[in-house]
Amino acid sequence: MKIVKAQSAVPIEWLWDFEDAERDAYLVDSQHKTSLLFGIFYVDKFASNGAVHLQDVFKKAQEFFKVWNDHYPWSEYNGISMSLEKMEDGTKFIYGQLCVENNVKEEESLVLGLLVQLSSNLGPQVFMRICDTDGDFLMTETISKEIVNPGCNRLWLQCGRLKLIPASDGHGVSPLDALEFLKNSYFKCTDFNSMNQYIATKVTNEFPDKFLSNLARLQLVIENKENCKVLLENPRLISYLLKCLNDEEIVVSKSPPSNNSKKIELLVPKGHCNIIPFF
């Protein structure tokens, strides 16, 4: 029996930064859990079949993420979800999201590494916008001397490198203006050297081995046959169960294993294993 976990989608408005005066108008519903968000745009003003190219990118992205969605023990169980969406002017794009609550730093860095890898193989017409529901987390990771005020919606990933739309009087740009700039003047974007070096050091060097090394094989003894069957058919579920053990006040009773017990081994984040001795 395959387990499906219900998930509330984060509205696409959260993909963008807004000036303080506009924020309350666009971001109406607050988000109680942190989610990483990304938008993938196919930007080519000379392409007559941009929608076809975007659909091809969507298919490649789905295939690329599939092995991670199927096997990586995400803390909220559900993996990276994607859908085709539209901007208010009708521009189509791929909208992706992943709830990273309780494992924010590890899972955001992992997905960033995956997006850098994916971006490197998609060509110069593909631009990605990456953030989370707490803000522009890439900007808060490092203090850069290259920019004093990054402004809104200026940071984009292209060909595996982070690029900046030039600032206009220290201000950011609206989502539609950012896309218009990328369509007509993307060659004026500047390479964000310090951020790219930071990502190389913290994320992409030895990727994905450094993230896989943060996983552990957890040995369990399961008495209930049905529970054992569910875990074997849904091995990623154990990460979410351990997270719930940490979040909720659950009383765990200790008892010696019975003759009907079965030993199984599941993959979990090492950080989730650290809570087990407390129960």
Q: Would you list the domain boundaries of the chain?
A: 12-209, 215-278
Spatial distance between the Cα atoms of 265 and 138, rounded to a whole number of angstroms? 35
- pLDDT per position as a tens digit, 124-136: 999 999 999 987 7
Backbone angles phi, psi at 44, to 5 degrees: -155, 105
Residues in the chain: 279
Q: Percent of the chain beyond pLDDT 90?
A: 56
pLDDT at 22 over 60: no
179 to 13, 127, 186, 205, 266: CA distances (angstroms): 15, 9, 9, 30, 44
Spatial distance between the Cα atoms of 183 and 266, rounded to a whole number of angstroms? 47
- pLDDT per position as a tens digit, 180-213: 999 999 999 999 898 899 999 999 999 999 999 9
Average pLDDT, integer, range 145-168: 79
Fold (CATH) for 12-209: Alpha-Beta Plaits (3.30.70)
More confident residue, 3 or 159: 159
pLDDT at 249 over 70: no
Q: How would DSSP label each residue in the chain? A: -------PPPPGGGGS---HHHHHHH--S--SS-EEEEEEEE--TT-S-HHHHHHHHHHHHHHHHHHHHHHS--TTS---EEEEEE-TTS-EEEEEEEE-TT-HHHHHHHHHHHHHHHHHTS-TTEEEEEEETTB-HHHHH---SS-S---SS-EEEETTEEEEPPPBTTB---HHHHHHHHHHHGGGPEE-HHHHHHHIIIIITTTTHHHHTTEEEEEEEE--HHHHHHHHH-TTHHHHHHHHHHHS----------TT-EEEEEEEEHHHHTTGGG-
How does residue 148 score in pLDDT terms, banded at 50, 70 and 90? very low
Q: What does pTM read for this prediction?
A: 0.89
Q: Percent of the chain beyond pLDDT 70?
A: 84
